[in-house]
């Protein structure tokens, strides 16, 4: 079954020279269930060599040792799986916008295929690579069930506007993946990745230590299977309770492309059609694809410029309001505020690289209340999110933070000091939803 051509978007038009096919792995760091790799394999067919490459950028959007460690463990496994299928993975280091075209030239690649990614840094790499390449550069959306560029050609207002578009297109795109066929063609002699050397040479911040969360495609599929069989039946009722363990915790795997969201959607849909499945698919498909849509169409996705007008206005009107508590970024990072629930959430993030979704909203909204101004609140929330979380540096993060701090995809609520008409969250509200004391006991506040 061929890859649906509507998943493919040309970033550079040029004639395919017929030489080897280069798959530039970037957002989708997996061997299976990967539309970009499947398309590259399809183009290679029986006679053209297929080579995969990943380029390790030394400093990626605030990532620390924790994230590099998780990513390299997953990539190493992916390289082994690909080698078993006769497909070499070349590990490059440096600036992907320059290194990928150099490798393509060395291989005399006829065509280069890469992953869709709406983040600025990735789009910059792709733009520069497209300029330097002699071959066509094709982008394939392997992250969204309904490809982001097909779901909508413009910035959507809210979940309610993108939802009908996605649901209409699901019958076309929510299809089973074909199997990745082993490579038959002889491949050029290429250096095997030296993982130990690359790890030793990492200059990532060791202040955020690796966590024991198992990494890689196998761990991702095991986590998905465990979620579907044991946790999904509690998802709709329990997902807003941080003590309930009722969410999937799949986001690190999805963030590093070790799990196709479409695989999760297929397995969850196959498990039944009740409220748990519907609630999960709403988050995994609609909310997540809304985040990609926002970042694709709002290049300033990490600034207040991307917030709705009403939200920017209300935050301006309340700039001079007295703030009973103001904390520095260091105090926030250390979890040293007056609020034990907030501190416990921050501790969870620092210690485990994860934070429950319900508390992420509370966490970010309090940063807005306790910062000198909305700009520094946004910068602090993004910096801490991206530094500590395994799923940070992702469109979901920028979107979730702007939703919490600046009314994105939301509407005005009752007016309050400092936050104006941005939707408020309070500790007493949390107490009504879940056992706050138990959460503080677990993570320390």
Q: What 3 state SS string does 107-119 have?
A: HCCCEEEEECCCC
* Edge-first strand listing for the sheet containing 21-25: 8-12, 137-140, 111-115, 21-25, 50-56, 89-93
Shortest CB 403 distance to ligand FAD, Å: 6
**Based on CB atoms, which residue is closest to ligand FAD, 262 or 396?**
396
Q: Both ends of the chain: CA-CA distance in Å?
A: 54
Q: How far apart are CA 141 and CA 39, in angstroms?
A: 11
**Based on CB atoms, which residue is closest to ligand FAD, 82 or 250?**
250
Q: How far apart are CA 399 and CA 145, in angstroms?
A: 19
Residue 103 near residue 92, CB atoms below 8 Å:
yes
Q: How far apart are CA 144 and CA 133, in angstroms?
A: 26
**Based on CB atoms, which residue is closest to ligand FAD, 133 or 384?**
384
Residue 214 near residue 193, CB atoms below 8 Å:
no
Q: How far apart are CA 299 and CA 307, in angstroms?
A: 12
Label the pairing between strands 137-140 and 8-12. antiparallel
User: Which DSSP state fits 377?
Assistant: H
Is 11 in a helix, a strand, or coil?
Answer: strand
Phi/psi-derived region of residue 407, left when phi > 0, alpha when psi is between -120 and 50, beta in every other case: left
Helices (H), 24-111: 35-44, 65-84, 96-107
Q: Which of 272, 215, 188, 181 lies closest to 69, judged by CA?
A: 215
The CA-based diameter of the chain, rounded to the nearest angstrom, is 70
Q: Which of 356, 143, 349 lies closest to 249, judged by CA?
A: 356
Shortest CB 125 distance to ligand FAD, Å: 20
Burial of residue 87, with CB atoms counted within 10 A of its CB: 0-12 exposed, 13-18 middle, 19 or more buried: buried
Angle at 84 between CA 80 and CA 88, to 5 degrees: 70
Q: Give the interface with ligand FAD as residue ranges (CB under 6 A).
A: 239, 247-251, 254-255, 283-284, 287-288, 291, 357, 360-361, 364, 385, 389, 391-392, 394, 396-397, 400-401, 403-404
Shortest CB 288 distance to ligand FAD, Å: 4
Residue 187 near residue 88, CB atoms below 8 Å:
yes
Token readout for 375 is 């700009």
Is 430 in a helix, a strand, or coil?
Answer: helix
């Amino acid at each position: 079954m061929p890859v649906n051509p509507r998943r493919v978007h040309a970033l550079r038009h040029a004639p395919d020279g017929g030489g080897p096919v280069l798959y530039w792995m970037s957002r989708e760091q997996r061997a299976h269930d990967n539309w970009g790799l499947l398309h590259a394999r399809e183009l290679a067919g029986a006679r053209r060599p297929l080579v995969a490459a990943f380029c390790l950028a030394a400093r990626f959007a605030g990532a620390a040792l924790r994230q590099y460690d998780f990513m390299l463990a997953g990539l190493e496994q992916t390289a082994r799986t690909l080698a078993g299928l006769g497909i070499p993975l070349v590990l490059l280091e440096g600036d992907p916008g320059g290194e990928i075209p150099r490798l393509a030239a060395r291989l005399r690649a006829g065509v280069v295929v890469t992953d869709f990614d709406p983040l600025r840094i990735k789009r910059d790499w792709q733009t520069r690579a497209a300029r330097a390449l002699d071959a066509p550069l094709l982008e394939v959306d392997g992250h969204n069930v309904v490809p982001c560029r097909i779901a909508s050609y413009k910035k959507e207002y809210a979940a309610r506007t993108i939802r009908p578009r996605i649901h209409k297109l699901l019958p076309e795109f929510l299809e089973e993946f074909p199997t990745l066929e082993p490579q038959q063609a002889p491949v050029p002699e290429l250096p095997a990745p030296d993982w130990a050397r690359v790890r030793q040479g990492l200059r990532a911040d060791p202040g955020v230590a690796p966590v024991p969360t198992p990494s890689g495609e196998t761990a991702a599929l095991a986590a998905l299977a465990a979620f579907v069989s044991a946790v999904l039946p509690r998802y709709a009722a329990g997902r807003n309770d941080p003590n309930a363990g009722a969410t999937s915790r799949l986001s690190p795997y999805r963030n590093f492309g070790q799990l196709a969201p479409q695989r999760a959607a297929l397995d969850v849909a196959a498990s039944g059609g009740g409220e748990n499945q519907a609630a999960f698919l709403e988050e995994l498909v609609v909310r997540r694809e809304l985040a990609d849509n926002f970042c694709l169409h709002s290049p300033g996705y990490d600034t207040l410029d991307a917030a709705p007008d009403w939200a920017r206005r209300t935050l301006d009107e309340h700039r001079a309001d007295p703030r009973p508590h103001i904390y520095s970024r260091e105090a926030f990072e250390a979890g040293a505020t007056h609020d034990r629930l907030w501190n416990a959430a921050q501790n969870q993030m620092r210690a485990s690289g994860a934070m429950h979704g319900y508390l992420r909203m509370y966490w970010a909204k309090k940063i807005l209340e306790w910062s000198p101004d909305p700009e520094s609140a946004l910068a602090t929330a993004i910096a801490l999110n991206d530094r500590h979380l395994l799923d940070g540096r992702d469109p979901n993060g920028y979107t979730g933070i702007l939703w919490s701090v600046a009314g994105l995809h939301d509407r005005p609520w009752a007016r309050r000091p400092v936050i104006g008409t941005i939707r408020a969250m309070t500790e007493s509200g949390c107490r009504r939803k879940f056992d706050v004391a138990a959460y503080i006991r677990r993570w320390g506040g």
